[in-house]
Amino acid sequence: MDSRRLLRISATALAAAGLILSGCTGGSGAAAPERPGSAAARQAAASPAPSPAALRKYYGQKLSWRDCGVPGFQCATLRAPLDYAKPDGPEVRLAVSRVRATGPGERIGSLLVNPGGPGGSAVDYLQGYAGIGYPEPVRARYDVVAVDPRGVGRSEPVDCLTGPEMDAYTQVDQTPDDAAEVEALAASFRRFAAGCEQRSGAVLPHVSTVETARDMDILRAVLGDAKLHYVGASYGTFLGATYAELFPGRVGRLVLDGAMDPSLSALDLNRDQTAGFETAFRAFAADCVTRPDCPLGTGSVAAAGEALKKFFRATDADPVPTGESRELGESLATTGVIAAMYDEGAWPQLREALTRAIGGEGSALLALADSYYEREPDGSYANLMFANAAVNCLDLPPAYRDPAAARAAAPSFDKVSPVFGTGLAWAALNCTYWPSEATGRPHRITADGAAPILVVGTTRDPATPYKWAESLAGQLSSGTLLTYDGDGHTAYGRGSDCVDTAVNTYLLEGTPPTTGKRCS
């Protein structure tokens, strides 16, 4: 897998950094309503669960599998109601893909995978990694399956801006110095939101995590599984936990890797994530300053942070040429650095990119930013960032009511991250202008009655701080925490035999590791 693809998978796993930052019986083929008074029921009040009879046509549908054009994979289309409050109304069509269990050994069932985002294509993740890269014993016993969530990838994708409009959006200064720059940033968020409403107004109010979790239960039943087996990374952990809250009796083996904390507000999520990127940068800097080619000097970690801030300030005043019409200003330079924080394997690439950018040639750091945004060489963009905002802005009320609130919050962000704080504080302004009112609220998820759920946390995860994994595992009535003492975003399949063995054992035997298990 080349470095560009590796970074794309990492950015997909939690792309929210640049925007924000958010009694059942199995196998019957009918949707059970949420438990009265549950947090999920309250969260879904704007779209209440219909009766099982109203959803029978969806739970009883048959998938027509066809060749995907990718060797070894099959594809199909799943139907679901656009609005669960109106199951006889318009439908959404969701892209599904699978690779069949290879054997030997008895097939356990389907293993649904989601790479996070929100906005990451699960189908791309399956066909590009999980369906061929998950451990062979797991692929032997499971059909590995993916569905692009509503609004994402091939499933009624949210669209907001043209390629040139998105280029302009990604270059807007996110560390405004005066009233004019504040207004320019706010105007960019308003244009983004208006573009989403204009191009995707029908689906935009119906891409919440609760609705996607309900879609997953339809898919579970259509695949013939009494229980949902699932591996979710990053935002995918919130999706998996939401499923467990809605349908605790249908939980099979759920792995939630790089966990989010559903009890936090948008403001707290963004601030905690900002602290996570600071932690990751300090780990990068500690490694960098020991190397003679470190572009941030060979002194202390603090000095390296000051050197990076000085570089960012310089690009704000005088963008770096890249060999194309786009120059490397502060916003794109910051995004390029953040992209490399997701995986320590990208640190050498970041050192080289920073060396070249500080020397006056910004194409390598721009390539890192483009990978984060999923910008193609032809100037087009995948819908990752559009779907990211659409889901996050429905799932939680906005972090701020206006730009003044963002300005007031910035010092608290700077306190947890001297390097990234101001920019990420202002980035959280985007949902302030969203055209669809949030239907979700922060709340604890306990999923009472669910089978054991495995939560995996990485101690120096940049995008989903370790304390989120501790919190989610503590909230879930049947949660067990597996800790990876290391760097990077998520842990399963990233090189730790200890983590992989524990997760594989759980998936294959249903036995989670002992509480408090740590890996390195």
What residues act catalytically?
Answer: 234, 461, 489
Joined together, the tokens standing for residue 57 give 């046509």
Contact 346, 7 (CB under 8 A): yes
Cα separation, 520 vs 508, in Å, equals 22
* Three-class SS state of 498: helix
Element (H, E) at 257: strand 251-257
Do 498 and 490 contact (CB within 8 A), yes or no? no
Which helix or strand (DSSP H or E) is residue 370 part of?
helix 363-373
CA dihedral 280, 282, 288, 294 (to 10 degrees): 110
The SS3 assignment for 497 reads helix
454 phi/psi in degrees, rounded to 5: -100, 120
Question: Which amino acid belongs to residue 410?
Answer: A
Residues present in the chain in total: 520
Side by side, the strands of the sheet bearing 228-233 are: 66-67, 74-81, 91-99, 142-147, 109-114, 228-233, 251-257, 453-460, 479-487, 518-519
SS (H, E, C) 87-145: CCCCEEEEEEEEECCCCCCCCCEEEEEECCCCCCCHHHHHHHHHHHHCCHHHHHHEEEE
> Would you state the structure tokens that stand for residue 318, as one six-digit string?
């005088």
User: Tokens 């640049």 identify what position?
Assistant: 18
The DSSP output letter for 165 is H
Could you tell me which of 68, 121, 103, 206 has the C-alpha nearest to residue 383?
121
Chain centroid to CA 167: 22
